[in-house]
Structure 1
C-alpha cells in the first residue's frame, strides 16, 4: 500500500452526518420555540434509545477490550434510564397532584441515570503497575476533592442551601453530572488510560458540560428562556449518541477501543488542586466565615490534607526503599567492579583495548609474563609493536576481520618475548566501536605455545619416521601430489634403496646396532642429494629418494654417490660395519608416485639379485651399473 493510500482521508459516515444534521435541526427548532412540551421529550426519548442501541453495537464490536465493553455497557444503561424519565415527564404535563408525583418519579430515574454515568466514569480501572496504583488513586482523589469543593461553592451561592427542594435536587444533579465528566478527564490525564478513543471523548466531555448546565438552570431561567434548557437537554442526548457512533467508527482501525499513552512519572495536577483548594478555603472564610459553605470548605480542605499526608507518606516510604535499593545496587556494583578488576588483573590471558587506529588504550598485567612488556609502556603504542608479531600485517588483518565479522575474529600468530624466545599467541578480537562505553576493539590473547609445539610434534610424528627423522610414505605421497608439474623436458626421478645384508647385522650384532646403522644411512642419504630432493624411509631397511627436475643420467649419478657414501665403514658399539645397498631408478614425468615407486622397486630387486651387490639398475633398462667399494668410479657391469 502506498503512502498516499495510508494518508487518504476516511470517507464520511452517512449515519454520523445524519446524527449531526438532525441534532442541529432539532436543537434549532427547540431553541427557536417551534418545538415544545411533549414533542421535545419524545425527541429526547428516541435519541436516548438510539444512544443505547449504538452502545450495544460498540459492546459487540470484535476485539473490544473488556474495560471498553464494561464502560459502554454502563453508559447504555444510563441512556435507557433516561427514557422512562422522559416519558414520565410527558405524562406529568397533565398537572395536578398526580403530575407532581410523576415528575418526582421522573427525577428519580434521572438520578439513577446520572448515578450510572458516574459509576461508568469512576469504575474504569487505572491501568498502572500494582506498586503505583495506590499513589495514582490518591492523586485522582486529591484532584476530585478540589473539584468537589469548587462544585460546593457553585451549589451554595448564598452560603447556605436553598429552601426550594426542586432546585436543591436539580442543582445537586447538575453538580454530580459535572463531576462525572471531570472524573473521566482527571483519570485520563493522570493514568494515560481511558475506555474510549480521544475522538469519542470530546463529545462525551461536551455532553457532560451541556447536561450539567441544563440541570443547573432547570429552575433558574424564566419561562421565556426555558427553551434554551430544553435545547441543551436535546443537545446532551445527541452528543452522547454522536460519541457512541464515533467510538464505533474508530474501533474499525483500533479494535480495542482504548486510549492509552505513556504515563508521566509525575504530574503537577494534584499540586495545582491543593493550591486551588486552599485559595478557595481562604476566600470563603474571608467573605462568609463559618457558614454551611464555609464548613464544607473546611471539611474538604481537611480531606485534601489527609490525602496529601498519605501520599507523602507513600512517597517517603518509596524514597527510603529506593535509597536502600540504590545503596544495595552500588554495593553490588562496587563488588562486581572489584571482582572484575581482580579477574582482569590476575588472569593469565591478556586483555587489550585498541582504538580504531590500532593504538593500545589499555593492557592488562598479563602482558608482562606473556611478552615481557610493561602494560603502562604499552599504552599509546601500536598493536603490532606491542605484540611483537613476526607478521607485520597481522594486527591489521585481525582488526579488519573483527570489523567484518559480527562474532569477532580469531587468529593465531607467532610473536617474540623480550627474552628472545618465540611464542604462539591466539587472539580473539571483538569490534565494539559502536559502543560508546568502549569505542574500540577488545582483544583477548592467550599463550598457546605449548599446544602449538605439541601439535607440531604430533604432526611431525605422523609424517616422519620416528627413528631416522625422514619423511614417511604418507607424507611422500602428499608431497608428490601437491608439487607443481615438472618443467618441459625435465623429469622426476625415484630412487628405491634396500640395504644388503641388513638382516644379518640385526641377527648377529643386535637391533641396537641395526637401528644405529639405519640412522647413519639416513644421514648419508641426506648428504648425498641436493637440498631440493626428498629423502624418505618406507619401512625396515627400505629408503626412497625423490629427485626433482632430473634426467636418467643425473639420477644414476645420484645413485652412484649414494652407494659410494654408504660404502664408507662406520664403527657402531665397537663393531666395524660397511653397509651396502641395491638401488632401483625410475624416471618419468608422471606425477603419480605409485607408478614410479613400483617401477623403481622392480628395478631395485633386479639389482639385488646380482650376487656382487652394490648395483644400480634403471627401470626398463637391462644394463646395470656397479659402484666400486672405494667409490672412486662406477663402470658398466
Structure 2
C-alpha cells in the first residue's frame, strides 16, 4: 500500500473549524455592513462584536504558538509580542463596543482615540521586537543582500504612503488618518522584511501574508476610504483587517502540523524583492503624472531611481558572488580531478544496462586505459567461478534505488591474469545528476594472498604441505554419520635415520613420504601430518576393502629406497585401517590409532 500523501495547507485550512469560523464570521458581518439596513449604531455593534470574536481566536492561537516546546528565545519573544499586539486590538475592540453600548447615538465610525492608541501601541511592540530580533551568523555578503532588500521594501513603502497621503489630502481628509496610516504601513513593512528575510524566521511566509495584507487594508481604510466612501465600507475594511490578523497565527499552527508530513522547501538562493518593489513604484508612476511634475511625482521618480540603484547594486553583488562561486567550483573540480587521477582506486559509473559509462585512471591497475573499458558490461570481467554467487545481489542492486553492495571478486587483468578487487557500490539511478550505479574498487590481491597464506599456514604442515591435525579434525567432524575410512600411519625406522644423518635428512624423508602418500590417494582423499612421523588419511565414502588397497599401495611405494647424498635410505610404515559411519570423530581416530599399533606389534612379532 502506498503511503498517504501529506495534506496541502489549502486543504488543511479549508477543513479547520477555527479558520472556517473566522472566515464565516467576517464574511457574514461584512455582508451585513454592506447590504444591511444601514443603521450606524447597529453597524458599529456588528463590527465590534465580530471584531472581539476574531481577536479572541488570534490571541488563543498566538498564545499556543508562544508556548510550544523547544523554541529559541527570539522566536518565543516574537510570538509573545504578537500575542500582546492582538490583545491590544482586542482591548480596543472591547472599548469601542462598550462605548457604542453606553452611547447609542454615537455616529463616529472611524477608529476612536483609545482604539487608535491600542493599535499604534501594538504595532510599536511588534516593531521593537523586529528591531531586536537577531540575525543568524552570516557572511558579509549575506548581510549586504539583506540590507539591500530591506532598503528596497522601505523605499517602496515610503513612495506608496506618500502617494496615498497626497491623494487623501486632495480629497479633503484630515491629517490624523494619513499620519496613522504612514506609521502603521512603514512599521509593518519594516517588521515583515526583518522577520521574513533575516534567516531566522519566526513566522512562515504563508502565515505572514495575511498580517501584511491586513496592514495594507488598514492603510487603505484610514487614508483613502475615509475620504471617498461611506461608513459601511470603512467598517468592512476594518473588520477584514482584524480577520486577516487573526488568521496569521492560526495558519502558522497548521503549517507546524504539516511540517512532520512533508519536508520544508529549500531556501531560494536568489531574491525577487527588489524587482517586486520596482514594479510597485512603476505601477504608481502613471497615477502621479496627470498633474505634471508635482511634488508627489518627483517623490515617485526619486523612489524609482533609488530602487533602480538598489537593483543594480543587488545585481552587482550577485555577479560577484557568482564569480566567486565559479572560481570555488573550478578549484573543487580541479582538486577532485587530481584526486581521482592519482588515486589507485577505480571509480566507475554503471548505466542501467550494466555497462561502464565512466572510469577513473585507476583502471590502469587492471592494465586498461579508461577509454578501453567504456561500454563494457561489468559482469564480463568477473571470474566465472565468482559470478554465479554474486549475480543475484548485483541484479538486486541494479533495480533498487539507494541500495548498497560490497563484495570481493576476481577481475580479469589485461594480461589474462586475475586480480582480486573489493568493490563498494551504491545505486544512484534515482538522482538525475548521477543516474548510475557508483562503484569504488580497490585492488586487494596482495591482501587476499597474504590471508590465504596465513590461513594455509594455520591449517597445513609447513614441512610437507599436508593438512595439520586441526584441519584434519575439522574435516573428520564434517563426515560424522556418513561412510568414511581412515588410515593411521606411523613410520618404522624413522628415528635411526634422524639420529644417524641428522634432522635435515629426517625432513627430506618426511617430505618424500608425503609425496608418495599423495601419489597413491584418490582426488577426494585428505592426507595429513598429525605430528612427528605420524600421518593420517581421510577417505570420504570409502569402505574397508578400498582403504586396505590404498594402504597396500602406500606400503609398496615406501619399499622404494630414498636417495639422499649418496645414501639409499629405506623406511617402512605401520598403517591402521578403520571404516564405518561413526558418530564420534575422536573415537574413530582412536580406533585407527589402535589398529595401527596392532599392525606394528604384529610386524615385530613376525620379525622376532
Tell me the TM-score range normalised by the shorter chain: 0.7 to 0.9
- In the TM superposition, what are the counterparts of 1:321-470 in structure 2 within 5 Å? 321-368=317-364, 370-386=365-381, 391=386, 396-397=391-392, 399-403=394-398, 404=400, 406=402, 408-470=404-466
Distance 2:355 2:556 in 1: 61
**Secondary structure in 2 matching 1:284:** coil
**Corresponding residue to 1:497 among 489, 493, 496:** 489
Conservation of the 8 A alpha-carbon contact between 2:488 and 2:593: yes
Q: Are residue 171 (structure 1) and residue 174 (structure 2) matched?
A: yes
**Secondary structure in 2 matching 1:283:** coil
2:139 is aligned to none
**Corresponding residue to 2:504 among 512, 527, 543:** 512
The runs of 5 or more residues in structure 2 that have no matched partner are 66-78, 136-142, 197-203, 257-264
Q: 1:569 to 1:149 in 2, by over 3 A?
A: closer
Q: 1:413 to 1:405 in 2, by over 3 A?
A: farther
Conservation of the 8 A alpha-carbon contact between 2:163 and 2:296: yes
Distance 1:6 1:393 in 2: 57
Conservation of the 8 A alpha-carbon contact between 2:423 and 2:439: yes
**Secondary structure in 2 matching 1:437:** coil
Distance 1:84 1:124 in 2: 26
Distance 2:25 2:350 in 1: 69
Q: Which has the higher mean CA deviation after the structures are superposed, 20-29 or 414-423? A: 20-29
Greater C-alpha radius of gyration: 1
**Secondary structure in 1 matching 2:64:** coil
The runs of 5 or more residues in structure 1 that have no matched partner are 94-105, 158-167, 218-227, 287-293, 616-625, 627-636
Distance 1:523 1:472 in 2: 15
Higher relative contact order (CA 8 A, sep 6+): 2
What is the CA-CA distance between 1:270 and the residue it aligns to? 3.2
Q: 1:415 to 1:132 in 2, by over 3 A?
A: closer
**Secondary structure in 2 matching 1:434:** coil
1:523 is aligned to 515
Q: CA RMSD in A?
A: 5.0
What is the CA-CA distance between 1:119 and the residue it aligns to? 6.5
What is the CA-CA distance between 1:539 and the residue it aligns to? 0.6
Distance 2:415 2:337 in 1: 28
With the length of structure 1 as denominator, give the TM-score of the two structures. Answer: 0.70
What is the CA-CA distance between 1:445 and the residue it aligns to? 2.2
- In the TM superposition, what are the counterparts of 1:67-216 in structure 2 within 5 Å? 67-76=81-90, 79=93, 110=112, 114=116, 117=119, 124-125=126-127, 131-132=145-146, 135-156=149-170, 171-176=174-179, 198=210, 215-216=226-227
**Secondary structure in 2 matching 1:516:** helix
Distance 1:194 1:544 in 2: 85
Q: Are residue 552 (structure 1) and residue 544 (structure 2) matched?
A: yes
Distance 2:240 2:321 in 1: 51
What is the CA-CA distance between 1:436 and the residue it aligns to? 1.7
Conservation of the 8 A alpha-carbon contact between 1:499 and 1:582: yes
Distance 2:14 2:104 in 1: 49
Conservation of the 8 A alpha-carbon contact between 2:155 and 2:307: no
**Corresponding residue to 2:468 among 463, 467, 472:** 472
Distance 1:182 1:532 in 2: 95
**Corresponding residue to 1:597 among 583, 586, 589:** 589
Conservation of the 8 A alpha-carbon contact between 1:68 and 1:195: no
Q: 1:122 to 1:542 in 2, by over 3 A?
A: same
1:63 is aligned to 64
What is the CA-CA distance between 1:534 and the residue it aligns to? 2.5
Aligned residues: 554
